[in-house]
Structure 1
Amino acid sequence: MTQQVEIGRGKTGRRAYALDEIGLVPSRRTRDPEEVSIAWQIDAYRFELPVVVAPMDSVVSPATAIEIGRLGGLAPLDLEGLWTRYEDPLPLLEECAGLEAEAATRRLQEIYNAPIKEELIGRRIEEIRASGVTTAVRLSPQRTVQYHKAVIDAGVDIFVIRGTTVSAEHVSGRAEPLNLKQFIYELDVPVIVGGCATYTAALHLMRTGAAGVLVGFGGGASHTTRNVLGVAVPMATAISDVAAARRDYLDESGGRYVHVIADGGMGTSGDIAKAIACGADAVMVGSPLARATEAPGHGHHWGSEAHHPDLPRGRRVRFGTVGTLEQILHGPSSVADGSMNLMGALKRTMASTGYSDIKEFQRVEVVVAPMQR
């Protein structure tokens, strides 16, 4: 039953739960971790890891996109980042990592003020494609109409349309908004869209023909969306609501399955396991992989919200480095805080609770168990 909480005489709100407020319950059966599969498939593309890397310059470059693909995941390149604004952004990425905290936001705004060069879009996509891994890129809804042709012409495999909030019914008096349903219908590649955080918004996005929906906004480690806009939805509840929309849309559409990808608010392997338990098919993470020695941010992490020209809603965060991408994803781990061997931990969680694959694991029992600090 939905629990309505009285905030005051004139306002009530639904009780929602964050990932660190729930726990997973072991069943009567356990398994050997080696017998657990964490693979998933979206459209014609199969991935051995349920990991989509957040399209942020501090984490994804053409080189790291290729390495993540080799390791079994998917890493969309941000086509509104430095890799399409500069021929060689490596010196600027190094500068971004070395900025003093109080000067970081202003300098990021200056660096990202350079125009996007359309010829670089094709060049970056071709660089990733040449490696043989699945190629994905990200654009915001505001830039999709302008640059999507260059993306498709370059031969991208998966198109990600990602913003703080993406709706199927955006209203604008300044310009014709992106018609998601028509846009997706006319493309020959699967499209992942988001974020959203409610049952209704997710259902509308699924009806546009999207292959996947991103769940969440304002919850990332480098975001300040909650402070700046007051917008935030606890991830356990958001994922569960969107998973319910997936179930109902499956019936409504006569069997069309839309993948749910939890986006943000997952800093440890335990968070990833709980997100999938709540109904996610995969997770989109940034900060855990920003700690990799290969990450372009050199141990620092920031997203597109951090350099918004008018209203920044993020910050550059220092995490330091803990190991290589392979060690963070596959181990071995040398720490006990859930920041390394993310996929090994997920397999062990599934084995400990008795489930053999992602879809089965979504049925695991969940309890409300606020973390003791």
Structure 2
Amino acid sequence: MAEIEIGIGKSGRRGYSLDEVAIVPSRRTRDADEVETSWQIDAYQFDIPVIAAPLDGVSSPATAIEMGRLGGAAAVHAEGLWCRYEDPTDVLFEIAELTAQRGSGQGSETERITRMREIYSSAVQPDLIAQRVSEIREAGATVCIAVTPASTESLLSHIVRAEPDLLVIHGTVTSAEHLTDGAHEPLDLKHLVRRLEVPVLVGGCASYQAALHLMRTGAAGVLVGVGPGVASTTGRVLGVGNPQATAIADARAARMRHLDETGVYVH
């Protein structure tokens, strides 16, 4: 892709969001019955190519069970409300009310932020992680548990003990090499992924090099995307990210290189 001069000594590439690209029909059509949407990651087969995001507003044990029934999966976050509260229903309704107040201009933004911090200050309960895994597994769905890189080491033993089918290490930006001032030991993704028996999906990333490095850790899948979408404030607040269509294309190119180098296909 041609580079564009931004200013003296600075250049960049034009990125494209999904809204800016379209799928062009080819010269042949195919009957709907002949279209195959199933896919497999490690030993787990899915009928539809969808894993619901590990967000409290998206995934719950009930969501994971229903997604499993439909042929997909949903990632329940080990640091989310379902692993902090025995029954977070009332708290979720309160968050919805806070969101509604924001939309209607009621109340103070500072008060809403303070209350959200209070809600999430409740400690993660390891027993609830095991309970959520058990609930989903007993319903016959594939169990997918997510955790942030910062909390992976502290929660890993509890997650592994619960025996999920898939583990998602998910952050706004996740890299294979994290630099630190030495105040704390950074997560060594390559060492971690290779010593776990459970398949690991890692992300997010938004560039060719970042995706390739994550694939080289031994991850079974890479989450692509930093900043795009209406649910994300990263792009708007921090100016960090990459238009999603370009990010997907770059990650695909990284996957092809990794496949050529290792013979391993990464999702």
TM bucket, shorter chain: over 0.9
Cα deviation digits, residues 132-173 of structure 1 (max 9, x gap): 111001000001111111111111000000000111101122
Report the counterpart of residue 76 of structure 1 in structure 2. Answer: 75
Question: Superposed, which structure 2 residues align to 1:273-352 within 5 Å?
Answer: none
Cross-structure match for 2:12? 13
Partner of 1:143: 151
Higher deviation after alignment, 16-25 or 233-242: 16-25
Does residue 117 (structure 1) correspond to residue 116 (structure 2)? The answer is: no
For residues 179 and 90 of structure 1, the distance between their equivalents in structure 2, rounded to whole angstroms, comes to 36
Distance in 2 of aligned mates of 1:71 and 1:80 = 25
After TM superposition, give the deviation of residue 76 of structure 1 in Å: 0.8
Counterpart residue identity of residue 214, structure 1: L
Per the alignment, residue 184 of structure 1 pairs with 193
In 2, distance between residues paired with 1:162 and 1:40?
21
Say if 1:18 and 1:196 are closer, same or farther in 2 by CA, change over 3 A.
Answer: same
Residue number in structure 2 paired with 1:216:
225
Match of 2:252 among 243, 259, 269: 243
Equivalence for 1:297: none
Among candidates 231, 236, 250, match of residue 240 of structure 2: 231
In structure 1, the partner of 2:161 is 153
How high is the sequence identity, in percent, across the aligned residues? 55
Distance change (3 Å), C-alpha of 1:125 and 1:144: same
Q: CA offsets, 1:279-313, max 9 Å, x none? A: xxxxxxxxxxxxxxxxxxxxxxxxxxxxxxxxxxx
Deviation at 1:3, TM superposition (A): 1.5
Once the 2 structures are TM-superposed, how far is the Cα of residue 106 of structure 1 from its aligned partner?
3.0
The aligned amino acid for 2:173 is T
Amino acid at match of 1:247: M
Deviations 1:5-58 (A, max 9, x none): 111223211111111111111111111112211111111111000011011111
How far apart, in 2, do the equivalents of 1:83 and 1:209 lie?
A: 29
1:168 corresponds to which letter in structure 2? A
1:49 equivalent to 2:48? Answer yes
- Per the alignment, in what secondary structure is the counterpart of residue 24 of structure 1? coil
Aligned length: 257
Q: Give the aligned residue type for 2:178.
A: H
**Gaps (5+ residues) in structure 1?**
260-373
Is residue 194 of structure 2 the alignment partner of residue 195 of structure 1? no
Query: What root-mean-square deviation, in Å, do the aligned CA atoms of Structure 1 and Structure 2 show?
Result: 1.1
Higher RCO, Cα 8 Å, sep 6+: 1
Match of 2:214 in 1: 205
Q: Distance in 1 between matches of 2:248 and 2:203?
A: 12
2:230 is paired with a residue whose SS is coil
Q: What amino acid is the match of 2:167?
A: F
**Letter of the structure 1 residue corresponding to residue 146 of structure 2:** R
After TM superposition, give the deviation of residue 196 of structure 1 in Å: 0.5
Q: Distance in 1 between matches of 2:213 and 2:4?
A: 27
**How many angstroms apart in 2 are the aligned matches of 1:116 and 1:154?**
14
1:236 partner SS: helix
- Partner of residue 162, structure 1: 170
Distance in 2 between the 1:185 and 1:21 partners?
A: 38
- Residue in 2 that maps onto 1:257: 265
Q: 1:32 and 2:31 equivalent?
A: yes
TM (norm. structure 2) is 0.93
In structure 1, C-alpha distance between the alignment counterparts of 2:196 and 2:58, rounded to whole Å: 28
TM-score between both structures, scaled by the size of structure 1:
0.67
More helix, by proportion: 2
Distance 1:148 1:182, change over 3 A: same
Per the alignment, residue 95 of structure 2 pairs with: 96
Aligned residue for 2:65? 66
How far apart in 2 are the matches of 1:12 and 1:182?
36
